[in-house]
Chain A
Amino acid sequence: MEARVFRLKTPLSDSDIEKLRVGDIVYITGLMVTARDEAHKKVLETLESGKSLPIDLRGLVLYHCGPVARRRPDGSWEIIAAGPTTSMRMESVEAEFIEKTGVKMIVGKGGMGARTAEAMRKHKAVYAVFTGGAGALAAERISRVVDVYWLEELGIPEAMWVFEVEDFGPLVVTIDSTGKNYYQERMKDVKAKVPSLAEELSKRIQEILGEARK
């Protein structure tokens, strides 16, 4: 089956999101905001203390990414590499993040867990992966750095970057707004193969060792 392809612009609406299903391919034009471990903590602490965030995240795309960035002589930023980081590290705080910020799409790598999937079902959001590690390719689609927050405090990889992107993708949806979680289902199948493959491999290893000990 050919994958369905969507080209979407931020801010994303609930109806944009509800169209998307696991396995769909998406290209994003508009604003993507990065946050890794420390920036997640910072966002939640800021909201907890009743203050507002430096940027309104409603309808935007949250990107799990710590870029390589370089300052040009004129003071503006050049993004050198900006692929996704492992999303699972943010699993413990992501449900709350989605609820409190109103982001509609999260881009990362490796998938996320049951709590995030449930929050996505409840608040109408999706999770999609960009090819992990493809940092140079990702940087090609970032047209401009709009802003960066908490740079001094958190450093380049952990700061919150606001990227203007054009046709950023291909992003493959792996959690949709019905709460379906592609990776979780696939990995169940993979793990089910472990006992029999391990048993068979063990026998093959014994054969080789048997020859080595002759």
Chain B
Amino acid sequence: MGGVTRESLEEAFYEFIKVVATRIPADVYEAVKRAYEGETNKLAKAQLEAILRDMEVACAKSRPICQDTGTPYVYIEIGDDFPLRSEVADALISALKRVTKEGHLRPNAVDPVRLKNSGDNTGRYIPWIHWELVPGDELKVHFMSKGGGSEAPSTLKMIPPLRGWKELAKTVVEAIAEAGPLPCPPVIVGVAVAAGADIALTLAKKALLRPIGVRHDDPFIARLEETILEYVNRLGVGPHGFGGYYTALDVKMEYSYRHPASFAIGVVTSCWATRRGSMIVRSDGSWEITSKHLAPAGDGCRVE
């Protein structure tokens, strides 16, 4: 190949965003399937069954999993020697506009001042893009279509450090209990401890990118994730609030070093329709989706 161009990059993003909108990540599908198989509460089981069928219909017909196709969050790791720089955002925005125009994404970007929907999922600061400069000549893109309903339980607490961890337990359990059925449980919960308010919420949200069941590298954080998950599920909110075991499919935790005087706690959730994906683009223009998704196979859909 003759090297990556602005056009080839847009084409790759276009295909990538379509996959994220219509094919649920394999880890999410399998987690809901396990929940369905283990659930004994009938109303909860019926909800999980509808969720699985929805994921399968969306995949088979190449349709959005949920009508709320979310706010586009993009996490980019760009290599020092990747040939394109600021054009990456430009290509991404063009791709997003095309995917929206073709009806794969609902236009969700609204100007809060003029109350006007841009109609193409782009606008001031949207897509929301995080940049990270890394060694090498590759481009890695993580895309998340973040549903609006599951933004509701987002919580930020600035706690005196002596009470920090005690308050963390209460903050998480309370946020999930208060939200009840609103964020479309079973959810994935992101939790972070950090030096500042913005860091806590950013890290909590970024933690949602890690697949279900994949634990944090730090063994103590990994144990905290498992323990918090157990207690969130003991609340008994259940799928769409109908009781049953699964209020959360997983808890993802992250932390930064904190300031001696501050202990910021961030809690976010992502609905069962957690849509995220990862791709890599090489300098020669070749690219691939590196995340696993539900995919059409024969007359149905299967995990790749």
| Residues of chain A having any CB pair with chain B under 8 Å | 2-3, 23, 25, 65-70, 78, 80-83, 85-86, 88, 109-111, 129, 131-140, 155-158, 170, 172, 183, 186-187, 189-191, 193-194, 197-202, 204-206, 208-209, 211-212
Contact = CB atoms under 8 A, between A and B. Distances in A.
Nearest to B231: A201
A97 B270 CA distance: 31
Interface residues of B, number: 62
A204 B242 CA distance: 28
Contacts of B50: 131, 134, 137, 170
Given A23-B43, A133-B68, A138-B67, 16 more contacts: A65-B67, A68-B69, A81-B65, A83-B67, A129-B181, A131-B47, A134-B51, A136-B64, A155-B117, A187-B180, A197-B173, A197-B234, A199-B169, A200-B231, A202-B165, A205-B224
A82 B117 CA distance: 19
B20 interface: no
A183 B241 contact: yes
A68 B67 contact: yes
Contact of B65 (A23, A65, A136, A155): A136
Given A86-B152, A157-B108, A137 B237 contact: no
A197 B229 CA distance: 12
30 contacts: A25-B46, A67-B67, A68-B104, A70-B102, A80-B63, A80-B104, A81-B69, A86-B182, A110-B149, A131-B47, A133-B147, A133-B184, A133-B271, A134-B50, A135-B58, A135-B63, A137-B53, A137-B57, A172-B43, A172-B242, A183-B181, A186-B241, A187-B237, A191-B178, A194-B174, A194-B177, A197-B235, A198-B174, A201-B173, A206-B166
Contacts of B178: 191
Contacts of A134: 50-51, 53-54, 66
A133 B165 contact: no
B67 A109 contact: no
Nearest to A183: B241
B105 interface: yes
B168 interface: yes
Which of A65, A81, A137 has the most chain B CB within a 10 Å cutoff?
A81
B136 interface: no
Contact of B54 (A131, A170, A209): A131
